[in-house]
C-alpha cells in the first residue's frame, strides 16, 4: 500500500498559518495520489479539511495518520491497515463510489 508522506508539522510554531500550510500540503498530496489512482478528493472542501484535521489529530495522539472514521486497536498490524490511505479505500470506492470517510470519491 502506498503511503503518503508529508512534512511533519512544526511543533515549535502553533500559528494558524503554519497549521493551514500543513493542511494544504496534505490535501495536495492526497489530490496527487487520488489522480494517480483514478479517483479524486471529495468536492466538498469542508469535508476534506475536516478529515485532514482528524488525521492530524490522530497523528498527534498516536504517531500515525489513522483514518478518523476507523477504530484504533491494540493490534499494531491491524492499525497499519487503517493508516490513510487505508487498505480498504480502493475496494470501497469501487463498491460505494467513495471511501468510508468520504475523502476519496469516484
Residues 6+ apart with CB under 8 A from 67: 55, 58, 82, 83, 84, 86, 100, 101
pLDDT band at 45 (very low <50, low <70, confident <90, very high): very high
Say how far residue 65 (Cα) sits from the centre of its chain: 6
pTM: 0.83
Is 24 among the domain residues? yes
Are 101 and 68 in contact by the 8 Å Cβ rule? The answer is yes
Is 7 among the domain residues? no
- Which CATH number do you get for residue 47? 3.90.460.10
Cell, residue 19: 497549521
Q: Could you give the number of structural domains in the chain?
A: 1
Which tens digits make up the pLDDT trace of 65-96? 999 999 999 999 999 999 999 999 999 999 99
Is 95 among the domain residues? yes
Residue with cell 503554519: 18
Is 46 among the domain residues? yes
Is 1 among the domain residues? no
CA atoms within 13 A on the CB side of 24: 6
12, pLDDT greater than 60:
no
Task: Find the domain containing 36 and state its range.
Answer: 16-105
Is 9 among the domain residues? no
Is 11 among the domain residues? no
pLDDT, mean over the chain: 90
Is 2 among the domain residues? no
Helix or strand run (H / E) with residue 96: helix 89-96
Amino acid at each position: 500500500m502506498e503511503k503518503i508522506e508529508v512534512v511533519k508539522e512544526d511543533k515549535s510554531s502553533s500559528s494558524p498559518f503554519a497549521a493551514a500550510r500543513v493542511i494544504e500540503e496534505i490535501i495536495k498530496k492526497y489530490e496527487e495520489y487520488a489522480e494517480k489512482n483514478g479517483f479524486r478528493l471529495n468536492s466538498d472542501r469542508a469535508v476534506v479539511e475536516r478529515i485532514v484535521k482528524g488525521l492530524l489529530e490522530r497523528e498527534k495522539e498516536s504517531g500515525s495518520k489513522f483514518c478518523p472514521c476507523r477504530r484504533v486497536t491494540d493490534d499494531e498490524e491491524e492499525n497499519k491497515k487503517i493508516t490513510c490511505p487505508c487498505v480498504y479505500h480502493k475496494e470501497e470506492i469501487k463498491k460505494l463510489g467513495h471511501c468510508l470517510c468520504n475523502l476519496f470519491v469516484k
